[in-house]
Amino acid sequence: MAGFQQKTIEDFPVEILTAIFVLSTNHNLALASKRLHSSLAGAPTSVKVDWLLQRYHNDPVQAFHRGVYWRFFDMQVLAGLDQQYCRQQRWIVSEIKHTTSAQSSRASAGQSTSTDLNNSCIPYTSISIPSYIFALESANPEHYALIEELLVRGASPNTPLGYPIIKSAILGRLDIIKLLLKYGADPSARKNMALRVSAGRNNFEVVKLLFEHGVSADNETLRICVQKNLWEMANLLIKHGAAPDMLTLNQLQ
């Protein structure tokens, strides 16, 4: 037909594009073209929540535990998943109540459960916090809030292998280190690695904070500071128990 131009997916209205994106669960769809990227990259929180739920079989717990590794995940997305989690829990409680024979038991169970559900959120017990969150050099209130929320919900401040506090020490993120220590992070993880990298970068604030939380100065950290001519830091380490070995003494000569 003259003048007929075949339509492509890019010509669809945003609403249809969004529905296709959610149902396909294919994150690469947003990268297929500039038009699709501009339409999908700035999708509202509700679309992100729907996409995660679709991808993880309408399970808000899995959508949270696995979805937090996606870079678009934030506190707003978490709040949306919490709402879905509460709805599912209420439905479960409702089904249980219908099978309960005793009227009094039904009433007391319903009252107790309702109170719990109003304040319930998806737990994150003993699970690692995604490493990419700690790899950001500049302070980001949104990431700080997400880290804190995960810790409140039971996230491990140490796994894997002390990475959270060590990476934060490398980047000099005093705020994150304080937060991790508040929730039980091991300041001496991997043989005082946080102290070692902080002292080697001449970061007195972090070093003093680690000392306040029971870290002991060690000879290896002292040797690093001597090699870098960080004499003030070396003196601080000696004051906190570091004793120079023969190799370090030879370097002092």
- What's the CATH number where 236 sits? 1.25.40.20
**Model pLDDT, residue 145:** 96
Distance from C-alpha of 163 to C-alpha of 157, rounded to nearest angstrom: 9
Residues 49 and 72 in one domain: yes
Residues 114 and 136 in one domain: no
1: in domain: no
pLDDT exceeds 90 at position 190: yes
**Model pLDDT, residue 244:** 86
**Model pLDDT, residue 101:** 52
- pLDDT tens per residue, range 133-151: 999 877 789 999 999 999 9
Residues 87 and 138 in one domain: no
Distance from C-alpha of 251 to C-alpha of 5, rounded to nearest angstrom: 78
221: in domain: yes
Residue ending a domain, choose from 83, 118, 153: 118
**Model pLDDT, residue 205:** 98
3: in domain: no
Residues 187 and 146 in one domain: yes
**Model pLDDT, residue 104:** 55
Residues 194 and 245 in one domain: yes
Tokens 């319930």: give the residue. Answer: 120
Lowest mean pLDDT among 31-40, 95-104, 153-162: 95-104
Residues 105 and 136 in one domain: no
Instruction: Choose between 217 and 12: higher pLDDT.
Output: 217
Calculate mean pLDDT across residues 106-114: 50
**Model pLDDT, residue 32:** 74
| Domain that residue 213 falls in | 131-252
126: in domain: no
Residues 15 and 72 in one domain: yes
213: in domain: yes
Residues 85 and 112 in one domain: yes
**Model pLDDT, residue 170:** 97
Instruction: Choose between 180 and 8: higher pLDDT.
Output: 180
Residues 34 and 140 in one domain: no
- pTM equals 0.83
Lowest mean pLDDT among 31-35, 99-103, 166-170, 204-208: 99-103
225: in domain: yes
Instruction: Choose between 253 and 223: higher pLDDT.
Output: 223
**Model pLDDT, residue 115:** 43
Calculate mean pLDDT across residues 53-76: 96
Band of residue 41 on the pLDDT scale cut at 50, 70, 90: confident
**Model pLDDT, residue 5:** 65
Mean pLDDT for all residues in the chain = 87
Residues 72 and 144 in one domain: no
- pLDDT tens per residue, range 158-187: 999 999 999 999 999 999 999 999 999 999
Residues 48 and 71 in one domain: yes
Calculate mean pLDDT across residues 205-218: 98
Q: What total of structural domains would you count in the chain?
A: 2
Residue ending a domain, choose from 60, 85, 118: 118
Residues 27 and 113 in one domain: yes
89: in domain: yes
**Model pLDDT, residue 120:** 81
Three-state DSSP string of the chain: CCCCCCCCHHHCCHHHHHHHHHHHCCHHHHHCCHHHHHHHCCCCHHHHHHHHHHHCCCCHHHHHHHHCCCCCCCHHHHHHHHHHHHHHHHHHHHHHHHCCCCHHHHHHHHHHHHHHHHCCCCCCCCCECCHHHHCCCCCCHHHHHHHHHHHHCCCECCCCCCHHHHHHHHCCCHHHHHHHHHCCCCCCHHHHHHHHHHHHCCCHHHHHHHHHCCCCCCHHHHHHHHHCCCHHHHHHHHHCCCCCCHHHHHHHC
33: in domain: yes
Residue ending a domain, choose from 118, 141, 169: 118
